[in-house]
Amino acid sequence: MNFAKRAKEMAPDLHELYKDFHSHPELPMQEFRTSRKVVEFLEKNGIERIPLDTPTSVAAVIRGEKPGKTVALRTELDALPIIEESACEFPSLNPGVMHACGHDAHLTCLMGAAKMLAEHKNELSGQVILLFQAAEENGCEARQMIEAGILTQKIDALFGLHTNTGIDAGKVAFMPGASQASADVFRIVIRGSGGHGAFPHTAIDPVMIAGQMISQLHTVVSRNVDPMQTAVLSVCRMEAGTSDNIIPEEAVLTGTYRAMAPEVRRLIRERIQQICSGIETSYQCRCTVELPEGCPPIVNDTELTRFAAEACSHVLGEENVIDLPPAMVGDDMAFFLERVPGLLGALGVRNEQKGIIYGNHTPRFAIDEECLWVGAAAMAQMAWEYLEKIK
């Protein structure tokens, strides 16, 4: 089976799906319209839903008429709180919300793959689980789907694709092993004592202390992490003060830290706590540190990565299946991959001639729609070949 021709035939339908999802983005845990559209699609194509006790995520199964293994395909539903500035002909109709990470494209690709697989279920060995996951940007819904029992039935392999603006449309990319970093956040509240800006000696200035803390936090990677390891720590936001002549009572720092290795992740977490303790002693302030658990690294199964690349070469050509460099971005698909062998590959969306060059999570993010049939064909082919060849 080769899904390339059928996927190209579906290009107009994929365009309509993508147009609808792109122009109606919804924030995490608010994807009610999006999930309703998914359910309507499943019903129209005779695809069985799997009961799932979550607000907006949807799961379904395509049951082949031949016995075999179980493979899962995963996509996301949610968008980001960004004001769109792209040149898209059908921009967001929801002010301040934008599909700036390509989840609308992933969703369209999976729906295309599902339709093609359902058309051939009489020839299909085993079954294909479809995971339409909400709230990836919050890093929480994959865990909730697992807690809701989506993995109670054994899944033998899991495949996903994510848009990549560094790769040309028409190509897909894969990397075995750790390909994406853990993604954690921190929030630090520094409480001093306020006062008049003209008399700083009578106050404990949390703004000044925050400046010292930022400098110290940014030394964690450069001075505590082994240079042969990969890690990032960024203070991304600071909130303090109400006036230009008042020393405030408190300052708040928030940011993210990322690592490829679990031991580095733990080290960064420990150093954040130690720095805060030292700041308290040095400046006679109080520091409250919040370190909620985020996503672990994406670790792709080596054998399945090789298999997926080979399957995609059958529909796209070997020249369009390339190696994926590691990146410090994160994805909560990692929670699935801790429990199920699988991978998250990359779907190229870049087209410099069309000006499609802007990165994910930016107001000008866009895709070359050539990627839609490519992603649909790739996902269908990976699932089909796995079920046919892996017995």
Determine how many CB atoms are found less than 10 A away from the CB of residue 289: 15
CA nearest 76: which of 326, 347, 296?
347
Which tens digits make up the pLDDT trace of 243-271?
999 999 999 999 999 999 999 999 999 99
Spatial separation of the C-alpha atoms in residues 171 and 258, rounded to whole Å: 27
The pLDDT value recorded for residue 87 is 86
HEC string of the chain equals CCCHHHHHHCHHHHHHHHHHHHHCCCCCCCCHHHHHHHHHHHHHCCCEEECCCCCCCEEEEEECCEEEEEEEEEEECCCECCCCCCCCCCCCCCCCCECCCCHHHHHHHHHHHHHHHHHCCCCCEEEEEEEEECCCCCCCHHHHHHHCCCCCCCCCEEEEEEEEEEEECCCEEECCEEEECEEEEEEEEEECECEECCCHHHCECHHHHHHHHHHHHCCHHHHHCCCCCCEEEEEEEEEECCCCCEECCEEEEEEEEEECCHHHHHHHHHHHHHHHHHHHHHHCCEEEEECCCCECCEEECHHHHHHHHHHHHHHHCHHHEEECCCECCCCCHHHHHCCCCEEEEEEEEEEHHHCECCCCCCCCCCCCCHHHHHHHHHHHHHHHHHHHHCC
pLDDT along the chain (391 residues), means of 10: 96 98 97 98 97 95 95 98 94 97 98 98 96 92 93 94 97 96 96 96 96 97 95 97 96 97 96 97 96 94 97 98 94 96 98 96 97 98 95 72
The pLDDT value recorded for residue 138 is 87
> CA torsion, points 373, 348, 97, 186, in degrees to nearest 10?
140
Spatial separation of the C-alpha atoms in residues 213 and 252, rounded to whole Å: 11
What are the CA-CA distances from residue 256 to residues 53, 217, 236, 271, 331 (Å)? 30, 11, 7, 14, 14
Rounded to two decimals, the pTM is: 0.92
The pLDDT value recorded for residue 391 is 72
The pLDDT value recorded for residue 321 is 98
Q: How many CA atoms lie within 13 A of 15 on its CB side?
A: 11
Spatial separation of the C-alpha atoms in residues 373 and 375, rounded to whole Å: 5
Spatial separation of the C-alpha atoms in residues 3 and 114, rounded to whole Å: 11
Spatial separation of the C-alpha atoms in residues 267 and 220, rounded to whole Å: 9
What are the CA-CA distances from residue 36 to residues 33, 41, 46, 113, 186 (Å)? 5, 9, 15, 19, 34
Which tens digits make up the pLDDT trace of 181-198?
999 999 999 999 999 999
